[in-house]
């Protein structure tokens, strides 16, 4: 395990993923019944944007840095506002110095009755995550392989909620692992919402992944991809797969993703795609 999210925290892919994550949490909050979030690859929790890792890549400046500084059209701005407010809550001085990863964004949006289970296997990231979550009794961090956790924690007793699967894509077989894992998980907990993140570097692998999901028998799958265009030597596009997305999420993403892609674009070729792999068409 070499991947360290601290180099990438707050970049365009985090903004895309976390803006959608916050929308899903807002939908879950619409009903009073408790929900559970299972974050299988949770990361360290809170990232120092002034630290050596973030400074070395500067990726956050083209991600959260830009979206905080650039006004969007009103409809998109109101959909993005809860995410920006959550980020602002970790930066009480106003200037952007810290970026909350998925478990802290989840906690921020959770109510007293909701629960978070966060898996992180890398020891130093797990120790940081434990520190970041320590004071909050609604959250539990576990030093467990997220793929094992996915099987072990499903279905949660709340019977409603979200599973976020956000692996580092260090292994060559990560796409097929992801496809197998989601099929198995969805069988164990058919009504859960699932959000999967993937990088778009190898277009053939991504196409194959989409086809495998479309033929998997899972009835409702929405796919979103966002590209920032420009040079091709590092990550310039990422995707999300959403199984059982909340009602109206697709409509919200249709409003939000175009303006977001324009703000995040670093060159020609930027944009977004949104389609149903199964259902809703």
Question: Which positions are catalytic?
Answer: 166
Could you say which of 24, 28, 76, 125 contacts ligand SAM (CB under 6 A)?
125
Give me 98's structure tokens.
């810290």
| Residue 102 near ligand SAM by CB under 6 A | yes
Using rule CB under 6 A, residue 225 touches ligand SAM = no
Q: How far is the CB of 41 from ligand SAM (least distance, A)?
A: 3
Distance (Å, whole) CA 89 – CA 220? 34
Rounded CA-CA distance 253/76 in Å is 9
Is residue 1 a contact point for ligand SAM (CB under 6 A)? Answer: yes
Nearest approach in angstroms of CB 32 to ligand SAM is 27
Of 88-96, 139-147, 154-162, 216-224, the window that binds ligand SAM (rule: CB under 6 A) is 139-147
Q: Take residue 267 and report the two structure tokens written for it.
A: 């060159």
Do residues 5 and 125 lie in contact, with contact meaning Cβ atoms separated by under 8 Å?
Answer: yes
DSSP state of 248: T
Map the footprint of ligand SAM across residues 9-68, applying CB under 6 A. 17, 39, 41-43
Binding to ligand SAM by residue 145, rule CB under 6 A?
yes
**Do β-strands 193-199 and 46-48 pair in parallel, antiparallel, or remain unpaired?**
unpaired
Does 270 contact ligand SAM by CB under 6 A?
Answer: no
* Contact yes or no for 165/178 (Cβ under 8 A): yes
d(CA 242, CA 277): 10
Which single residue is written with the structure tokens 């479309």? 214
User: Residue 244 Cβ, how far from ligand SAM at the closest point, in Å?
Assistant: 19
CB of 268 to ligand SAM, least distance (A): 27
Longest Cα separation, the chain: 49
For residue 137, state whether it binds ligand SAM (rule: CB under 6 A): no
Residues near ligand SAM (CB under 6 A) are 1, 3, 5, 17, 39, 41-43, 101-102, 119-122, 125, 145-147, 166, 168
């Amino acid at each position: 395990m070499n991947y360290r999210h601290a180099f990438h925290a707050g970049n365009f892919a985090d903004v895309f993923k976390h803006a959608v994550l916050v929308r899903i949490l807002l939908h879950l909050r619409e009903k009073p019944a408790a929900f559970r979030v299972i974050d299988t690859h949770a990361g360290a929790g809170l990232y120092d944007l002034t630290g050596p890792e973030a400074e070395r890549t500067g990726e956050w400046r083209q991600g959260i840095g830009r979206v905080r500084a650039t006004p969007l059209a009103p409809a998109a701005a109101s959909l993005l506002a809860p995410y920006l407010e959550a980020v602002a809550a970790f930066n009480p001085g106003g200037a952007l110095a810290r970026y909350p990863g998925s478990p802290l964004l989840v906690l921020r949006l959770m109510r007293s009755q909701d629960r978070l289970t966060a898996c992180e296997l890398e020891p130093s990231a797990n120790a940081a995550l434990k520190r970041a979550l320590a004071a909050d009794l609604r959250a539990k961090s576990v030093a467990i392989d997220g793929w094992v956790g996915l099987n072990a924690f499903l279905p949660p007793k709340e019977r409603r909620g979200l599973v976020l699967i956000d692996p580092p894509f260090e292994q060559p077989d990560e796409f097929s692992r992801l496809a197998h894992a989601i099929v198995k998980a969805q069988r164990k907990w058919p009504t859960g919402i699932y959000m999967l993140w993937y990088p778009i570097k190898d277009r053939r692998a991504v196409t194959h992944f989409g086809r495998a999901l479309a033929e998997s028998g899972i009835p409702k799958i929405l796919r979103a991809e966002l590209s920032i265009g420009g040079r091709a030597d590092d990550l310039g596009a990422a995707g999300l797969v959403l199984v059982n997305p909340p009602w109206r999420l697709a409509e919200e993403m249709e409003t939000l993703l175009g303006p977001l892609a324009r703000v995040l674009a670093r060159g020609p070729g930027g944009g977004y795609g949104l389609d149903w792999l199964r259902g809703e068409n």
